Structure 1
Amino acid sequence: MASINWSGIFPAMLTPFDEDGKIDFAMLSINIEAQIAAGIHGIILAGSLGEASVLTPGEKFEILTHALQVVAGRIPVLLNITENTTADAIAFAQQAEKLGADGLMVLPPMRYRGDDREVVSWFRSIAQHTKLPILVYNNPVDYATYISLDMFDELLQEPNIQAVKESTRDLTNITRLKNRFGDRLKILAGVDTIFLESLALGADGVVGGLVDAFPRETFAIFDYVKKGEVDKAVAIYRWFMPLLELDIHPKLVQYIKLAAAKEGLSTPFTRAPRLPLVGEEEVRVNKVIDDALALRPQL
């Protein structure tokens, strides 16, 4: 079984498009290289921020293949699973493994809200049909499915279920998970606006959004926390917070793409039904980004 060191920063990568809605692979390469240069520890492709809902399975595999060529073994490359049926999810996982993915992030079933038994069966069935390490995405706020500690008890019977993207918004859950499972379940903080607090409480790493636009600042906060220099981390974090709040909005894709475009790390284009920002919202979001850039800390 492949292994991933679930420590560090794992950007939920944007999927850049050109003006015609085609995937801009050259821009994806630029962002991947910027992430690696900043010191990040792995990338996650075709998640919510990567606009999984408007990508075909074929496009997701094209993105994976391209990213693997760019990364060339330097960091782990994970692909996100957001299928509707267990059979499709298994087939997707097996194709990702065949193409060379290093791991998978798996969401609960998307269109059907299963009960606890059904959700556990979903994750375990996928895990039993691939050797790839699995990161379970626990986000009851956005996806209406809460994966409880008792459910993780069952999930961890599968050795390749190794980590959780902890997006419950409840910081006490990190301590509950650590008390119950110790190092058997690695914890990646999944909400930008509490990622420093999550690290301070023992989260092993971060699945980030604004890291797409600001990899160096994200890495610096992580690095300072791990070195015990929390004051230095907090100083950058306070500057970062207005930007991080762009991650907890339904239009996070448009917002973060706009920020990344200003940094030369993405295009601003999304696929419909997402539309470009207009009016007061466009002015307000641009001001948040521009104000932050004007006061950017020296690293």
Structure 2
Amino acid sequence: MGIQWSGVMPAVTTKFTNEDTLDLVNFEKNIKAQVEAGVSGIILGGTLGEASTLTQNEKKILIEKTVEIVQKKIPVIINIAEQSTKDAIEAARLAKEYGAQGLMMLPPMRYKADSRETVVYFKKVANSTPLPIMIYNNPVDYGIEVTLDMLAELAECENIQAVKESTRDISNVTRMRNRFGDRFAILCGVDTLALESILMGADGWVAGLVCAFPAETVAICNLAKAGKIKEAITIYRWFLPLLELDISTKLVQNIKLAEVATGIGTENVREPRLPLAGEERNRVLAIINEGLKSRPILPDYKNL
């Protein structure tokens, strides 16, 4: 399956039972809600997916289960966030073996690689696999920026096809378009900059709050891409207080609490994370409840 790097691609949460095992019942409920809302792909094992706490066997189960649920309607993509090139190459091999159709790749973890090392890392992994790749450019959280000069070198690898743009610099979308044209698809990776990025030429949105509000997220993206800007802005303004729950160190707990409120998830996280408590929990619940009270009626965003 080729990947159209566009539209909304949820970075889904991983569901856990009270016994800290994979909760595939609630996981399936959420994935089906995403598909029904019209998302363009499913991304597993990102930050929201609590990837650093997952075993290799759990990643295998999640990929295989998602492939089964989506029934080839949309691609299944898994994040690669490894410490060594060797481990990243092996992760890519296993992803293909388990049935994933694409990869999202972070630079090396822990060690702060320089530009040359980072480019070589990406190239070696890309050259080891036929799977299409989206580079995850998030220097704010992960400490390494994939610059335009680095992307120019990575353009040699045909299967490096997209960039998840999370620098928080909205003008970077224009810089990429000016330099590379359509060589790379661009997907915004910051919920609070998504509409702005799409209006500046981004192809899509790797979203977080979509985990709890799939229809609203896809509606914003579809309306904006169809030129119905006022309609998109109206929904986006309603959504912004909720979207700000994504730009937090507790984004996983925040978004899982929102999933509970919309009936497509649970609060269970894997330790050392703990569910929200006390005043922090009350503050987040107040934002979620206010959003639910004023939840907009959506237009027919699937048929624009």
Q: Secondary structure at the match of 2:181?
A: helix
TM-score, with length taken from structure 1: 0.98
Partner in structure 2 of residue 250 of structure 1 = 249
Distance 1:60 1:98 in 2: 12
Q: Secondary structure at the match of 2:163?
A: strand
Distance 1:49 1:210 in 2: 10
Partner in structure 1 of residue 272 of structure 2 = 273
Partner in structure 1 of residue 7 of structure 2 = 8
Q: Secondary structure at the match of 1:159?
A: coil
Distance 1:29 1:116 in 2: 40
Partner in structure 2 of residue 153 of structure 1 = 152
Partner in structure 1 of residue 294 of structure 2 = 295
Q: Deviations over 1:156-207 (max 9, x none)?
A: 1000000000000000000000111111110000000010000000000100
Partner in structure 1 of residue 21 of structure 2 = 22
Partner in structure 2 of residue 209 of structure 1 = 208
1:82 aligns with 2:75: no
The Cα shift of 1:56 comes to 1.2
- Map 1:1-299 to 2 at 5 A: 3-299=2-298
The Cα shift of 1:3 comes to 2.3
Q: Deviations over 1:75-102 (max 9, x none)?
A: 0000111111110110110111122211
User: Structure 1 counterpart of 2:228, which letter?
Assistant: E
Distance 1:121 1:135 in 2: 16
| Percent of aligned pairs with the same amino acid | 54
Distance 2:110 2:139 in 1: 14
Distance 1:60 1:294 in 2: 36
Unpaired runs of at least 5, structure 2: 299-304
Paired residue total: 298
Distance 2:27 2:275 in 1: 20
Distance 2:199 2:68 in 1: 35
The Cα shift of 1:278 comes to 1.2
User: Structure 2 counterpart of 1:145, which letter?
Assistant: I
TM-score, with length taken from structure 2: 0.97
Distance 1:280 1:246 in 2: 15
User: Once superposed, which parts of structure 1, at least 4 consecutive aligned residues long, lie more than 6 Å away?
Assistant: none
Distance 2:116 2:15 in 1: 37
Q: Deviations over 1:133-174 (max 9, x none)?
A: 000000000000000000001111000000000000000000
Unpaired runs of at least 5, structure 1: none
CA RMSD of superposed structures (Å): 0.7
The Cα shift of 1:277 comes to 1.0
Distance 2:26 2:39 in 1: 18
